[in-house]
Structure 1
């Protein structure tokens, strides 16, 4: 098994980065360009998913890491919900929406798996 030495080694962080990149790409076209607040909101939620994985990874223990992973999971859910609004407002196509759904669903299950692994591991760290 490969060891995890930095946050970039974590598959959940890599998936969150992919989601963040895709969402940002979506907001650089069409109606999103005229709706700055919504564009900012969905890109912030996607970025928050990625950033909370990173922040939790840098903490001193599993409890804190799990807490940040749960926050990341919430932000991931926020992106998923906002994608429905974007679809309903015709800001994104059905195909683009489906890709967001696939990315957020995959990321949710990976986050849940990492949380479960950390809860069941022997190493607890400092906090």
Structure 2
């Protein structure tokens, strides 16, 4: 299976693109940089894991992607609290990172069974 075939990769890619578009004009450069980088990290690490040779390496990179979900979720809470992001966007993206984290965790368990 290719990483492009994974629903979790497609959804995380869509989230990252949405985040980039929403923060394109933001003047809060530190927060903007952290949020866009962590959102980019999720689909990137899923892809990198799937391109690795061993299942163990794949799980390691999926773990990084899962960690980035938590990082992004934290940054979204902060962005909402400091009024850099609307409640609607923040709440939707926070819910999506929770779902992505669960999906990545399930994928990790599935792959770990083959190790």
CA distance in 1, matches of 2:22, 2:37: 13
Give the structure 1 partner of residue 17 of structure 2: 21
Structure 2: 5+ residue runs without aligned partners?
none
The structure whose Rg is larger is 1
Please give the per-residue CA displacement for 1:44-86, whole angstroms capped at 9, x wherever unaligned: 0010111100111000011000000000000111110000110
After TM superposition, which residue ranges in structure 1, 4 or more long, deviate above 3 angstroms? none
Please give the per-residue CA displacement for 1:74-102, whole angstroms capped at 9, x wherever unaligned: 01111100001100110111111111112
Quote the offset at 1:41 in angstroms. Answer: 1.0
Q: What TM-score do the two structures reach when normalised by structure 2?
A: 0.94
Q: What TM-score do the two structures reach when normalised by structure 1?
A: 0.86
Structure 1: 5+ residue runs without aligned partners?
none
Give the structure 2 partner of residue 47 of structure 1: 40
CA distance in 1, matches of 2:31, 2:87: 18
Output the aligned Cα RMSD: 1.1
Alignment of 1:1-127 (within 5 A): 4=1, 6-29=2-25, 33-121=26-114, 124=115
